[in-house]
Structure 1
């Protein structure tokens, strides 16, 4: 778009142009309006044509024993997408989301249907979203809206101790399993309950206090699809200088370093969103998931593949409550206590010095 005219040093008129504005799908995800080209390939057009072809041959593309239900077009389209995406090179996430949207548009054009706002995932494994809820009437509808955009096999809401309309909103707006406890379960216990109830191969954990864009959840699912047992939220970009970090962040990083995983920084199962294999949850023990850092220590000690999948800002967007405000609040002290419990578990499993060597001290001389 031409903005204005101005005169250069030689007196000639020249035109200044504005770069086209780019719309955003949430923080950190960019929607490209220009042709989606990489290495000379227009991936948007390529994906659109692949969607058309998939729709015309959908009956033969789905193998016998397919997990996609004939009555669930979203899962059917996702399975076709996964099959096609595995046949091409992996794309950067901004490219991926635009290509996936084009694939849906091509598929729905062939079937003469409207183009839904679906978000496709590069996996044909069954996926469960496990959401803990306590007095989230202002946000839970938005959480549900984003989850409906994904080809989920299960949505499990653990509503505990709520005194507002959260339960009614979930029951009326979703096709979900809702477990309702009239009394509070305690911090993170709902995750353990949901993991045990889930039947899916991939478990994705969320809280009901703020929605996460569906696009931002895909990398966590993909990390597990690619072989990671536990895919953590990489909160490191949001922490700032070490000298300004609080006690909670410091103890998270210390636990990871104690387990010889300094690469994880302060990333922890304490922070959502994260995902894991159902099999990993079984190996760790469902009850241990109620104390997230303890579960993480056990997973690392067992040799499970634990890594960071993507970064979702849950720090600046965290809902402020009376129990989590102030430097020494109830929630921060509970989390620090959880990490002390995790360190106790680490000491029991790895020895009194954890991963720290004792090369120069000759202890045997003190025994005489």
Structure 2
């Protein structure tokens, strides 16, 4: 699906006007990049607000974001990106919630398709980026994304996921599911699909090359473990809603007859 990405240059809405798009950016110690991220975000739509959730910052991230035109929510302790998105969503006023990362400047023309897709009726607009899938051994997180989408009967989504920015949600998603599930992105995706909301991978932004390399602890990426556990939580929720086989038939097998 293609969306028209040509919009007029942003004009700041009146302070009392409800914006069409709320861009939500969690940030921790991102003073070198946050201003560029905010400036591009403000160009996504003529009616746009940008909310930066500055959490656990020990630098001037909040000040740089404010100077660039963002509304800043300050938290002394680190929240984590996912919780930051939930907090930012609670403060957002727009009909579209567009999510970015504070360390990843992405040009506005690459962000507009997500907002425009939601304005056009999509409820969950995902980044079509699948991750490195042609390697001899696929990354565990990539495998988890593909597996979850297959379980949800959405193999067409491939590796598209709410764990990857940019992505956007409609106000309907937030009203129906609430903001708490956004702190576990795979769970939010599972709940959106199960609720029959319109979920589409709308545009590809190759964010893999933009991600910072993370330090490993004893040879293990701690964030990888968090993301995998989040996927397990999503699977557990889905099976609790659909049955132990995810709503799929057993083709007449009488497994209960087998005795140990």
Offset of residue 342 of structure 1? 0.7
2:179 maps to 286
For structure 1, the 5+ residue unaligned runs are: 1-89, 105-117
| Superposition CA RMSD, Å | 2.4
Give 5+ residue unaligned stretches, structure 2: 12-17
- Offset, 1:364: 5.9
**Matching residue of 2:211:** 318
Residues 213-228 of structure 1: pairs in structure 2 closer than 5 A: 213-228=107-122
Match of 2:129 among 235, 240, 243: 235
Matched residue, 1:349? 241
Q: Is the 1:252–1:268 contact (alpha carbons within 8 Å) kept by the matching residues of 2?
A: yes
- Alignment match, 2:168: 275
Q: Using the alignment, how far apart are the partners of 1:125 and 1:227 within structure 2?
A: 17
After superposing the two structures, state which structure 1 stretch, 273-282 or 288-297, moved more. 273-282
Counterpart secondary structure, 1:243 = coil
What is the aligned length? 252
Runs of 4+ in structure 1 over 6 Å off:
none
Alignment of 1:301-312 (within 5 A): 301-312=194-205
Q: Kindly indicate whether the alpha-carbon contact (under 8 Å) linking 1:129 and 1:152 is maintained by their aligned counterparts in 2.
A: no
Q: Structure 2 matches for 1:1-368, cutoff 5 A? A: 96=4, 100=6, 118=9, 126-150=20-44, 151-174=46-69, 176-236=70-130, 238-241=131-134, 243-322=136-215, 328-363=220-255, 365=257
Deviation at 1:252, TM superposition (A): 1.0
Equivalents in 2 of 1:320, 1:259: separation in Å?
Answer: 30
- d(CA) in 1 for partners of 2:96, 2:218: 36
Distance apart, 1:119 and its partner CA: 6.7
Go from structure 1 to structure 2 and tell me whether the alpha carbon gap of 1:128 and 1:187 turns closer, same or farther (over 3 Å shift): closer
- Secondary structure at the aligned position of 1:335 is classed as helix
TM-score scaled by length of structure 1 = 0.64
Give the C-alpha shift of residue 186 in structure 1: 2.8
Please give the secondary structure, in 2, of the residue aligned with 1:257: helix
On the 8 A contact 1:196/1:286 being kept in 2, the answer is: yes
In 2: Cα distance, 1:258 partner to 1:204 partner? 26
Alignment check: 8 A CA contact 1:259 1:355 kept: no
TM superposition shift of 1:363: 4.0
User: Relative contact order, CA 8 A, sep 6+: which one is greater?
Assistant: 2
| Structure-1 separation of matches of 2:78 and 2:118 | 31
